[in-house]
Amino acid sequence: MDWFSYDINRYTNVRMLAIPLIIFLLSLLVIGMTYASTGLPVRPGIDFKGGTAVTLSTPDSEDSIRAYFAGFPLEPITRDVSSRLYLLKFTKMSAEKNQQLIDKINARYPDASVDYIDETFGQTLQGQAIIALLFSFLGMAVVVFIAFRTFIPSIAVVSCAFIDMVGTAAGMNVLGIPLTLPTTAALLMLIGYSVDSDILLTMRVLKRQGKLEEKLAGAFRTGIIMTSTTLAAVLSLWIVSGLGQIEVIRDMAAVLLVGLVLDIINTWITNATLLKWYAEKKGS
């Protein structure tokens, strides 16, 4: 069963590559703008810039909560659809002020959840997150190069993963998903998973016998199901966590969704075109 036909030959290589190229350039623009204003490619969340996050389950109205916390550096409140679970974020404040805040929270909302991150600790975490992202990407690239042992197909896979990451980072900025520890984890996951379908594609094209078009189409049939199943799992995760206001999982799922959609484009247009070009050149 095919949902739609996959024919990479309908357009020339250059025209095919135009779509991912435009997305890539737009992504760079978004990231550049964020970098100019925050010093990071993605807007950092509380984990990295410090502050206090509070989750409340209460029948109180938003206005009454805001009034209760007047005098504290409260950012705009978000809440879930049933509007009983509120997410409050406070920017950094002095230690005494922070203790006052905790006392105030525990006095009226003893069942609240609180997470405070000191600014210096946030910076340390940020440094570690960057190290993790770098090494993770390098590790993935090494595995790919060892697996294929040919330069062009390997570099095609690795660059597609890179373009995925850049696009996902831009997507996070557009959707307002901050860079936190959980979303960093989602990005790391994406580094690993986004190359799945690229590997399938490359293996099929390089190692199988047969006509190139058939191999590409066959790889697509399998690959698109692979991505769809992951998308389905992540989508259900996103819906449930979105409805239930589980911020950690919701943000992770959103990042994975953006990355997987971009991965479809980058695998089946960018990587496939590069691979086709390589196979034709080698064959002739």
Partner 1 sequence: MAKPKKKKEAEKKPEPARKEGLKEIVRDWRVLILIILLVLSVAAIYPHFENGKFTTALQFGLDLQGGSWLQMSFASEVVGFTSQRSADDLAAALNKRLDADVSQVGPGQLEIRKSFPRNELERAFSAENATLTTYEPGVSRATADDIKRILEQKINTLGTKDARVNLLTPVGTNVVRYVRVELAGVDINTAKSIVGKQGLFEIRIKTVGNQTEHVLFGNAITSVGNPQQDPTRMTWGVPFTLSEQGALDFRNAANQYGAVTDEGNHPISMLLDNVTVFSAPLDPALAKELMTQNVQRLSASTGSGTVGMNQAQTLEIHLRAGALPVNVQVANFGQVSAPLGEYFKFMSFIAGVLALLTVGLVIYLRYREPSIVLPMVGTNFAEVIILLGIARFIFQLDLASIAGLIAVVGTGIDQLVVITDEVLHEGKVPSPALYLKRLTRALAIILVAAGTVVFAMLPLALMDLSTLKGFAFITILGVLIGVAITRPAYGKIIMAVLSK
Count Cβ neighbours within 10 Å for each residue of 190-225 and write b for 16 or more, e otherwise.
Answer: bbebbbebbbbbbebbeeeeeeeeebbebbbeebbe
Q: Compute the distance between CA of residue 199 and CA of residue 148 in angstroms, rounded to an integer.
A: 9
Other residues' Cβ atoms within 10 Å of the Cβ of residue 159:
17
Asked whether position 42 contacts partner 1 by CB under 8 A, the answer is no
Asked whether position 123 contacts partner 1 by CB under 8 A, the answer is no
Tell which one of 27, 34, 168, 241 touches partner 1 (CB under 8 A).
241
- Of 26-34, 70-78, 171-179, 248-256, which segment contacts partner 1 by CB under 8 A? 248-256
Q: Compute the distance between CA of residue 233 and CA of residue 69 in angstroms, rounded to an integer.
A: 38
Cβ nearer to partner 1, comparing 8 with 125: 125
Asked whether position 120 contacts partner 1 by CB under 8 A, the answer is yes
* The Cα angle at residue 227 between residues 223 and 229, in degrees rounded to 5: 115
Q: How far is the CB of 236 from partner 1 (least distance, A)?
A: 4
Cβ nearer to partner 1, comparing 37 with 120: 120
Cβ nearer to partner 1, comparing 170 with 188: 188
Binding residues among 175-214 for partner 1 as defined by CB under 8 A: 181-182, 184-186, 188-189, 191-193, 195-196, 199-200, 203, 207-208
Asked whether position 114 contacts partner 1 by CB under 8 A, the answer is yes
Show the DSSP H helices in the chain as ranges: 13-38, 46-49, 62-68, 95-108, 119-148, 151-175, 181-207, 212-244, 247-265, 272-283
Give me the 66-95 binding string for partner 1, x by CB under 8 A, dash otherwise: -----------------------------x
Tell which one of 93, 152, 226, 261 touches partner 1 (CB under 8 A).
226
End-to-end Cα distance, the chain: 33
Cβ nearer to partner 1, comparing 129 with 170: 129
Cβ nearer to partner 1, comparing 16 with 51: 51
What is the biggest distance separating any 2 CA atoms in the chain, rounded to whole angstroms?
Answer: 77
Tell which one of 8, 31, 42, 129 touches partner 1 (CB under 8 A).
129
Asked whether position 218 contacts partner 1 by CB under 8 A, the answer is yes
51 pairs with which residues across the strands? 117
Q: Would you say 87 and 55 are in contact if contact means Cβ atoms under 8 Å apart?
A: yes
Asked whether position 106 contacts partner 1 by CB under 8 A, the answer is yes
Total binding residues toward partner 1, as defined by CB under 8 A: 77
